[in-house]
Chains A and B, each alone.
Chain A
Amino acid sequence: MKRAIVFGLALVSTGLVAACSSDSTAPAIGTGSPSDTTPNTPGGGSQVPGEVTPQQTLPVDSSFKPTPQQALDYMRYLGPSLLGRVLTDEEEAKITAGAASAVKPMVETWVAEPGFVEAVKSMMEIRLGSNGTRGKADFNLPGYIVRHVVKNNLPWSNILTSTTCYDATDKAIACDTGAPFTAGVLTTRGFLAGNEGRFNLGRARAMLLTFMCRDYPVEDSLQPYIDKVRLKLMFRASNASEQQVAEVAGGFGNGLQCFSCHGQFSNHAQPFVKFDQSGTWIADATGAQSTTGQLGESDRSLMASHFDTPAEAALEKAQWFGSDVENLAGGAAVMAKHPKFRECAVQQLLDMGVGLDLGFDTKVKGLAVMGDFLAEIAKAVTTKSPDPTIQELAVATYSDVRVMAATLNGLKR
């Protein structure tokens, strides 16, 4: 018995001990010897795990010229996240020979791999909070749309403008909300049911975080505030003295500055007003506050509108990012064309590839990458390809030397 324990412990802990001890033998990315440019080959000739060479903080600007080892470290870190595999010997040899010049052509081949398709699908499933099945509702539909768009090199905007859904075999099928319009992943019961909630705040916020990389309150240049008088009385208050609704004045919700967020929430939530909790579109939904339900709920498993007048509350019309829209499809179309949508995709790609520190201060809620940097990358892509694929955005992002430098800086120890 003792021998068996020792065996099991030793054998298993050969690998597992690294998880429990700072005395890890795991290789340090960005810390290999600069002279170690030999590609890994089974049986020898590779970077020795645990060898740590003191390294200075790399300059994060366009002057950065990665060494072959730095390029290799970067790609070794990036590759498994994008592809679900480690680098091949041939890939390591190419990077070793070409350093930074080998990165872009290699990323171009990577984004054509099935692993990249699945990685993007998983990323979006998690952001949209939708996968699996519940009863007859297939929460996988958003992921299937994403997979179809990526696999077929369609413009990334199609995830918001797709007029059809897809099944597990990638066969086109009708979307499942029953609405007389479509808006890609937004008009799937998976997304709608997965993010349902009072006043449709959850749906609006998931939309904003996922596709615009913003959180409330958004800069008003991006989402202009609504006229206060159109809102229910409780949402009009910008401060305590303005609050005229007793139960809210007592500190309900975020307290007394309702308008700071709901002045924008209101417009974003309104196009969801006819989708019930299950994501089914109800033509005669009114957006009226239920007399028996909780605040923010309407009857028939629907949610209440922010708008004060019954006529306006019952409509799907709203203003998204400065444009008037008729319904959710209109809002999705506005987003799909918006520069911030593509900039947000760059941020999502960075998080998928290298993992972003959310504590990094960009001064903008929801942004974990400096906005001007995202804008620069996205603009460079759209100059050549106005409605780019996620692959085009990925190649531009991952082959940017500043991304390499910032990643390597973060991975040294």
Chain B
Amino acid sequence: MKYLFPVCALFSVACTGIFDGQTPGDQSSNVPLTNNPATPGGGSGSSTTTNTPTTTTPAGAPFKVRNTEPELVPFDMRVRRIATAIGVSVDHAMFADMNKNSLKLGDYDYANGALPDGSWNANRIAAWLLALKPVCNSAEMKAKYPTLPESLPALVRAAWGHVPSPDDTTDFQNAIAASGATPTVNYESTCMAVFAAAEFVYR
């Protein structure tokens, strides 16, 4: 378990918020409809990751959906979605660390000059995983999903909006089998993986 965070950081070196088909200079091309150009869109996530922009706009279309690249679900919406998946309120103590570090996780504080930040880089992923620890180890989480990966389909359905695909399930099973880790470690890691997945954090 202690290697999980550095591993995440290593992994995310290749995943610094710049997506396939996007060059570093492209990031501003996805400016949402806001008066503050550095902010993400007002919306938040579902389980969609659409990396390939469509170019067809039928004649008479009144608008076009912003779809050139995935967008990070706003911080407050991520917290709300976790709370809903576990069946607790957003002000539950399990989110204390998350709220305390909200700016590191992309939240905004205009009074102090922090604009919403939709990037998802190594530091942010690591901070997100750290903030998930109390969530994944909470009594409420374990009451709702007593064992993982056994409860994985229910957890993924509640978090991502659909049951895991056979490939998803196989990936989880293979990773767990290869780990040789204890059930406790497997539980925490599986929980974290679900709530840190692209399916969850991106729209």
Residues on B with beta carbons closer than 8 Å to the beta carbon of A17: 198
Residues on A with beta carbons closer than 8 Å to the beta carbon of B46: 29, 76-81, 86
Q: Is the CB of B41 within 8 A of A351?
A: yes
Taking the complex as formed, is A190 at the interface, i.e. its CB lies under 8 A from any CB of chain B? yes
Binary per-residue interface labels of chain A (98-137) against chain B in the complex, 1 for a CB within 8 Å, 0 otherwise: 0000000000000000010011001101111111111001
Q: Is the CB of A410 within 8 A of B67?
A: yes
From B21, B33, B36, B161, A129 is in contact (CB under 8 Å) with: B36
Chain A binder among B74-82, B92-100, B133-141: B74-82
Q: Which residue of A lies closest to B40 (CB)?
A: A126
From A1, A48, A61, A350, B165 is in contact (CB under 8 Å) with: A48
Provide the bound-state CA to CA distance between A78 and B43, in Å. Answer: 9
Within 8 A of A (CB), among B49-108: 49-52, 54, 56-58, 60-68, 70-71, 73-74, 76-77, 80-81, 84-85, 108
Within 8 A of B (CB), among A10-24: 10-22, 24
Q: Is the CB of B163 within 8 A of A46?
A: yes
Provide the bound-state CA to CA distance between A6 and B3, in Å. Answer: 10
From B19, B176, B179, B197, A15 is in contact (CB under 8 Å) with: B197
Q: Which residue of A lies closest to B186 (CB)?
A: A11
Q: Is the CB of A126 within 8 A of B62?
A: no
Knowing A6-B179, A11-B189, A122-B42, the reply to whether A209 touches B47 (Cβ < 8 A) is no
From A26, A129, A359, A360, B47 is in contact (CB under 8 Å) with: A26
Knowing A7-B179, A19-B15, A81-B44, the reply to whether A24 touches B198 (Cβ < 8 A) is yes
Q: Is the CB of B67 within 8 A of A411?
A: yes
Provide the bound-state CA to CA distance between A87 and B66, in Å. Answer: 22
Tally of chain B residues near chain A (CB < 8 A): 102
Q: Is the CB of A119 within 8 A of B52?
A: no
A-B contact count (CB 8 A): 338
Closest CB in chain A relative to B44 CB, distance in Å: 5
Q: Is the CB of B81 within 8 A of A84?
A: yes
Binary per-residue interface labels of chain A (341-370) against chain B in the complex, 1 for a CB within 8 Å, 0 otherwise: 000000110111111111110000000111
Tally of chain A residues near chain B (CB < 8 A): 103
Q: Which residue of A lies closest to B59 (CB)?
A: A60
Q: Is the CB of A13 within 8 A of B11?
A: yes
Provide the bound-state CA to CA distance between A86 and B158, in Å. Answer: 7
Within 8 A of B (CB), among A366-390: 368-370, 373-374
Knowing A80-B44, A134-B112, the reply to whether A9 touches B11 (Cβ < 8 A) is yes
Q: A4-B179, A139-B110 are known; give 7 further A-B pairs, CB within 8 A.
A: A5-B7, A15-B197, A25-B168, A48-B166, A356-B33, A370-B62, A406-B61
Q: What are 22 A-B pairs with beta-carbon distances under 8 A?
A: A6-B179, A7-B3, A8-B8, A11-B175, A11-B190, A18-B197, A19-B120, A27-B47, A48-B165, A85-B81, A86-B157, A118-B80, A122-B42, A126-B36, A130-B111, A132-B110, A133-B111, A134-B112, A352-B43, A356-B65, A374-B62, A410-B64
- Write the residues of chain B forming the contact surface with A, with a CB cutoff of 8 angstroms: 2-4, 7-8, 10-12, 14-15, 19-21, 29, 31-36, 39, 41-52, 54, 56-58, 60-68, 70-71, 73-74, 76-77, 80-81, 84-85, 108-112, 114, 116, 120, 125, 129, 153-154, 157-168, 171-172, 174-176, 178-181, 189-190, 192-194, 196-203
Q: Which 10 A-B pairs have the closest CB atoms?
A: A15-B197, A410-B65, A84-B80, A132-B111, A7-B179, A86-B161, A26-B49, A18-B198, A10-B175, A8-B7
